[in-house]
A = this chain, B = another copy of it.
Amino acid sequence: MRLRFHRSLDDLNEKLLVMAGMAEQAIQRAVEAYRVRDLSICDLVDRGEVAINRIEREIDQMALDLLAMEQPMAIDLRFTLAVIKINADLERVGDSARNISDRVRDLQRLPQVEVPVDIPRMGSLATGMVRKSIQAFIEADADMAESVLTMDDNVDKLNSLAHTSVLAMMKEKPEFASQALHVLMIARSLERVADHATNVAEDVIFWVRGADVRHHVREADSAVAGESISPN
Contacts and interface: CB of A to CB of B under 8 A. Distances in A.
A111 interface: no
B171 A167 contact: no
A73 B181 CA distance: 49
A103 to B, nearest CB: 11
A34 B166 CA distance: 23
Contacts of A232: 11, 14-15, 18, 58
A71 B71 contact: yes
A177 B170 CA distance: 7
Contacts of A184: 181
A80 to B, nearest CB: 9
B67 A67 contact: yes
A144 interface: no
B229 A8 contact: yes
Nearest to A168: B177
Nearest to A66: B229
Interface string A41-77: 0000000000000000010111111111101011001
Copies in the complex: 2
Interface in A15-47: 15, 18
User: Per DSSP, are chain A's interface residues mostly helix, strand or loop, or mixed?
Assistant: helix
How many chain A residues sit at the interface, stated as a range, is 35 or more
Contacts of A14: 232
A61 B61 CA distance: 22
A175 interface: yes
A3 interface: no
B77 A68 contact: yes
Contact of A178 (B66, B69, B167): B167
Contacts of A64: 77-78, 81
Contacts of A229: 8, 11, 62, 65-66, 69
Interface of A: 8, 11, 14-15, 18, 58, 60-69, 71, 73-74, 77-78, 81, 84-85, 88, 163, 166-167, 170-172, 174-175, 177-178, 181, 184, 188, 206, 225, 228-229, 231-232
Top 9 closest pairs, chain A to chain B, by CB: A174-B174, A170-B177, A71-B71, A171-B174, A65-B228, A65-B229, A171-B177, A170-B170, A69-B225
